[in-house]
C-alpha cells in the first residue's frame, strides 16, 4: 500500500471553534459536598460557614456525575476561586462536559489549558469528536497535536480514535490511509486496538482487500476484529464469504450475531436470517440484543412468517427484554405485514410511552390494510398528543387515503403539508397523490399533477398512473406515459412495459401486445416473476407461477384442480383471462391463469390445514383473476384468506374482499 504525506491543515479544515470571551458566573455558589448522598448539594453563601474549597473537593463533586447545569456551577466556582489554571481540575471538567454531550464547553476548557495538554486529554477530545457528525474536528485536533510534537505524541489510542473519525466520512478514506502509514512508521501496526480500528475503517469503506490484509497480519485478534471483517463482507453482499469467516470465529457475541443476521436481512435472504437466528439460540445460547431482534422481526415481516414472529414476541416477553422504541416499532410492523393488524394495535395500545416511530408504524400498518378512516383517526390522535408528523408519517396517511378511496381527505392532507407542518412533498408524496387520483379515475388530473411536479418525476410516479390507465382502460394515455418512461433510460422500462402489455391484452389488442413484448426483449427489460410465500407449521414455503420444484407439487396440483372445479360449480367462478399477455385460445388462457403462484400457495394451505386463516405474501400486485378466485374460495371452503400483495392487504371472507375491489 502506498502512503502519501498528510494534506495541509488549511486545506482540510475551515471550522472555527467558539471561544469563551469571559468567565461566566452563577448565582448559587457551591457550599459543601454531602457525604451521605450521591448528588452534590448547593446552598446560598452565608447559610453555612466553610473554608475555601480545594481542587480535590471539586474533583470529588465532578465524580458524582452532576447534571450539565451543576457542571456549569462547578465550573463557575472553579473560576471564582482562582483554580481555572489548575490542570488537575481541567481534565475532570472536560470529561464531565463530554459525558453530558456538551462538546462546545469541553472545547472551551480544553482551549484554555495553561500549558500543553497531556496526551490523555488530547485523546479525550479526539475521541469525543470522532463519535459526532463533526468528526472532522477530531482530525483538526490530531493535526494540532502532531504540530506540538513530543512529549505530546500520539499513542495507540489516538490512532484508534482518528480511524474511527475517518470511517464516518467516505471523503476521508485517503486521509485514513495516510494515517495508516504513520501507524506503520511508529510501530503500532501490531496493536490490537489500532488493528481493529483499521479493519473497521477499511470495511466501512468497502475496501475488503485492505481490511483482510490488516486482519491477516494482526498477531492477535479478538471478537471485535472478527466481527468487523464479517460486517465488511456482509455489507458488500458477499454473504457466503461473511458466513465462512463467521463460522470460523473462535467466539461470538450478540454483536457478531447481529451483524450476520442484519447482513442476510439487508440483502433479502430472509429465510437464511431466520436459520441464523435459530442457530444463535440453539448453539451459542447468546441472548439477542436489540439489533438482532429488530432485524429478525423485519425478516418475519417480509416473509409473512406470523408464527415465527409471534414466537419472537413471546421470547421477548418471557425474557423480560425491554420494549424499546425500535423493538416496539418492529413488532407493530411485523404484525401489520403478517396480516394481524389487530395484534399490531394491541402492541401499540399497550405501550406506556410512544414516540413518532411507533405512531408512524401504526399509521402505515393501518394504511396497508386499507383502513383509511382508522388511519386518519389515529393520525388525529397523534396530533392531539402533541406529536408533529414527519415525511414518512404523512406518506402513510396518504397511502391510507389512496387505498380507501378517500380522495378529498388525501388531497387536503397533501395540500396542508407545507403550511401546517413545514414539510416539502417529496417524490414519494407526489407518487401517492398520483395514485390517489388515478385509482379514483381522475386520470387527467393525475397526469396534470405529474407535469406540475417541482422535480423530475421518477418511474414510480409514471407507473402509478400507467397502472390506473390499465384499471380504467385508457389506452391513449397509457401510450403517452410509456414514452415518458422510456425517456428515463435503461432499467426503467420493465414494469412499465408489463403494465402496458396488460392494458393492451385487456382490450384484445394482440398486435400491440406483440410489439411491446418485442420492445421489451430488445431493451433487455423483463418483468419480475410472480412469487408467493405461505407459512405452514413455522416453515415458509415459496411458490413461482407454474412451479414444479416444491417436493409436494403433485399433491398441490391435484388439490388446485379440485379447488378450481369446486369454485366453478359451487361458486360460479369464471376465469378472467383478459390480462393474459398472449393471443391464445380461451382454454389455454384459462390454463395460464390457473397456475399463478398465489393459487398454488392457497391450494397448499388448504391441503396442509383444516381450519383457520390462510395467509399468503406476494411480491407483485394480485391479478384480477386470482382476486376473483380468492373471493370464491373463501366462500366455498368457508376459510378466511389474507393476501398481502405489493401495495396492500386483501382479506377475503364469505366471498368478499376488504378492498371492496378497489386496489
What does the pLDDT look like over 295-305, one tens digit per residue? Answer: 999 999 999 99
Using only C-alpha atoms, what is the Rg of the chain? Answer: 31
Please state the rounded mean pLDDT for residues 597-611. Answer: 93
pLDDT tens by residue, 393-418: 999 999 999 988 899 999 999 999 99
Please state the rounded mean pLDDT for residues 547-565. Answer: 91
Predicted confidence band at 77 (pLDDT cuts at 50, 70, 90)?
Answer: confident
Please state the rounded mean pLDDT for residues 459-487. Answer: 77
**CA atoms of 186 and 189, how far apart (whole Å):** 8
Written as nine digits, the cell of 338 is 403478517
Mean pLDDT for the chain overall:
83
pLDDT at 379 exceeding the cut of 60: yes
pLDDT at 12 exceeding the cut of 70: no
Please state the rounded mean pLDDT for residues 299-319. Answer: 95
Task: Produce one character per residue of 558-588: b if its CB has 16 or more CB atoms within 10 Å, e if not.
Answer: ebbeebbeebeeebebebbbebbbeeeeeee
Q: Are 621 and 597 in contact (CB under 8 A)?
A: no
Please state the rounded mean pLDDT for residues 536-564. Answer: 89
Q: Which residues have CB under 8 Å from 174's CB, separation 6+?
A: 4
Topology given in CATH for the domain delimited by 426-527: 1.25.40
Q: Where in the chain is the domain with CATH 1.25.40?
A: 426-527
pLDDT at 504 exceeding the cut of 70: no
pLDDT at 180 exceeding the cut of 90: yes
Q: Which residues have CB under 8 Å from 407's CB, separation 6+?
A: 401, 436, 437, 440, 442
Q: Which of 224-228, 460-464, 515-519 has the lowest mean pLDDT?
A: 515-519
Give the model's pLDDT for residue 240.
96
**CA atoms of 4 and 174, how far apart (whole Å):** 9
**CA atoms of 564 and 584, how far apart (whole Å):** 20
Please state the rounded mean pLDDT for residues 646-652. Answer: 89
Burial environment of residue 80 by CB neighbours within 10 A (0 to 12, 13 to 18, 19 or more): middle
Give the model's pLDDT for residue 319.
93
Give the model's pLDDT for residue 52.
52
User: What percentage of the chain reaches a pLDDT higher than 90?
Assistant: 51
pLDDT at 562 exceeding the cut of 50: yes
pLDDT at 593 exceeding the cut of 70: no
Written as nine digits, the cell of 29 is 455558589
pLDDT at 8 exceeding the cut of 90: no
Please state the rounded mean pLDDT for residues 451-471. Answer: 82
Give the model's pLDDT for residue 500.
59
Amino acid at each position: 500500500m502506498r502512503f502519501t504525506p498528510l494534506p495541509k491543515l488549511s486545506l482540510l479544515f475551515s471550522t472555527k471553534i467558539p471561544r469563551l470571551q469571559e468567565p461566566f458566573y452563577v448565582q448559587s455558589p457551591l457550599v459543601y459536598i454531602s457525604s451521605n448522598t450521591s448528588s452534590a448539594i448547593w446552598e446560598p453563601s452565608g447559610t453555612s460557614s466553610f473554608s475555601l474549597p480545594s481542587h480535590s473537593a471539586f474533583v470529588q463533586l465532578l465524580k458524582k456525575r452532576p447534571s450539565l447545569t451543576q457542571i456549569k456551577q462547578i465550573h463557575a466556582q472553579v473560576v471564582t476561586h482562582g483554580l481555572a489554571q489548575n490542570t488537575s481540575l481541567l481534565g475532570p471538567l472536560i470529561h464531565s462536559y463530554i459525558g453530558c454531550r456538551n462538546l462546545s464547553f469541553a472545547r472551551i476548557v480544553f482551549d484554555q489549558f495553561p500549558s500543553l495538554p497531556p496526551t490523555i486529554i488530547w485523546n479525550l477530545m479526539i475521541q469525543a469528536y470522532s463519535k459526532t457528525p463533526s468528526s472532522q474536528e477530531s482530525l483538526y485536533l490530531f493535526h494540532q497535536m502532531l504540530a506540538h510534537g513530543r512529549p505530546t505524541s500520539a499513542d495507540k489510542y489516538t490512532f484508534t480514535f482518528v480511524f474511527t473519525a475517518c470511517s464516518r466520512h467516505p471523503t476521508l478514506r485517503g486521509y485514513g490511509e495516510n494515517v495508516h502509514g504513520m501507524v506503520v512508521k511508529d510501530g503500532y501496526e501490531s496493536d490490537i486496538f489500532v488493528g481493529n480500528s483499521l479493519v473497521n475503517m477499511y470495511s466501512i469503506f468497502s475496501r475488503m482487500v485492505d481490511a483482510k490484509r490488516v486482519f491477516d497480519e494482526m498477531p492477535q485478534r479478538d471478537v471485535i476484529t472478527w466481527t468487523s471483517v464479517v460486517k465488511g463482507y456482509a455489507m458488500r453482499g458477499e454473504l457466503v464469504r461473511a458466513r465462512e469467516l463467521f463460522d470460523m470465529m473462535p467466539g461470538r457475541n450478540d454483536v457478531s450475531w447481529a451483524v450476520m443476521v442484519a447482513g442476510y436481512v439487508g440483502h433479502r435472504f430472509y429465510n437464511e436470517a431466520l436459520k441464523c437466528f435459530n442457530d444463535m439460540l440453539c448453539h451459542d445460547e447468546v441472548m439477542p440484543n436489540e439489533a438482532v431482534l429488530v432485524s429478525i422481526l423485519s425478516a418475519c415481516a417480509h416473509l409473512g412468517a406470523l408464527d415465527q414472529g409471534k414466537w419472537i414476541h413471546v421470547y421477548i416477553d418471557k425474557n423480560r427484554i425491554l420494549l424499546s422504541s425500535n423493538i416496539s416499532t418492529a413488532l407493530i410492523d411485523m404484525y401489520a405485514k403478517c396480516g394481524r393488524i389487530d395484534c399490531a394495535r394491541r402492541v401499540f395500545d399497550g405501550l406506556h410511552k410512544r414516540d413518532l416511530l411507533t405512531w408512524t408504524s401504526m399509521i402505515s400498518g393501518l394504511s396497508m390494510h386499507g383502513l383509511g378512516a382508522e388511519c386518519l383517526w389515529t393520525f388525529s390522535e397523534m396530533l392531539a398528543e402533541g406529536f408533529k408528523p414527519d415525511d414518512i408519517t404523512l406518506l402513510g396517511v396518504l397511502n391510507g387515503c389512496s387505498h380507501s378511496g378517500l380522495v378529498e381527505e388525501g388531497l387536503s392532507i397533501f395540500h396542508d403539508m407545507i403550511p401546517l407542518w413545514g414539510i416539502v412533498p417529496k417524490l414519494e408524496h407526489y407518487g401517492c397523490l398520483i395514485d390517489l387520483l388515478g385509482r379514483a379515475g381522475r386520470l387527467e388530473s393525475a397526469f396534470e399533477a405529474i407535469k406540475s411536479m417541482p422535480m423530475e418525476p421518477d418511474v414510480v410516479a409514471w407507473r402509478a398512473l400507467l397502472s390506473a390507465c390499465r384499471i380504467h382502460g385508457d389506452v391513449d394515455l397509457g401510450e403517452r406515459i410509456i414514452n415518458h418512461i422510456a425517456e428515463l433510460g435503461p432499467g426503467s422500462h420493465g414494469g412499465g412495459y408489463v403494465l402496458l402489455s396488460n392494458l393492451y391484452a385487456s382490450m384484445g389488442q394482440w398486435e400491440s401486445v406483440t410489439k411491446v413484448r418485442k420492445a421489451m426483449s430488445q431493451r433487455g427489460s423483463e418483468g419480475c416473476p410472480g412469487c408467493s410465500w405461505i407459512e405452514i407449521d413455522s416453515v415458509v414455503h415459496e411458490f413461482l407461477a407454474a412451479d414444479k420444484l416444491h417436493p409436494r407439487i403433485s399433491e398441490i396440483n391435484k388439490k388446485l384442480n379440485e379447488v378450481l372445479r369446486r369454485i366453478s360449480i359451487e361458486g360460479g367462478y369464471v376465469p378472467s383471462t383478459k390480462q393474459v399477455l398472449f393471443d391464445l385460445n380461451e382454454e389455454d388462457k384459462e390454463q395460464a391463469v390457473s397456475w399463478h403462484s398465489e393459487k398454488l400457495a392457497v391450494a397448499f394451505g388448504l391441503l396442509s390445514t383444516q381450519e383457520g386463516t390462510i395467509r399468503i405474501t406476494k411480491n407483485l400486485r394480485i391479478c384480477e383473476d386470482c382476486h376473483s378466485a380468492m373471493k370464491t374460495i373463501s366462500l366455498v371452503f368457508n376459510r378466511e384468506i389474507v393476501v398481502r400483495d405489493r401495495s396492500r392487504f386483501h382479506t377475503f371472507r364469505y366471498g368478499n374482499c376488504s378492498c371492496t375491489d378497489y386496489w
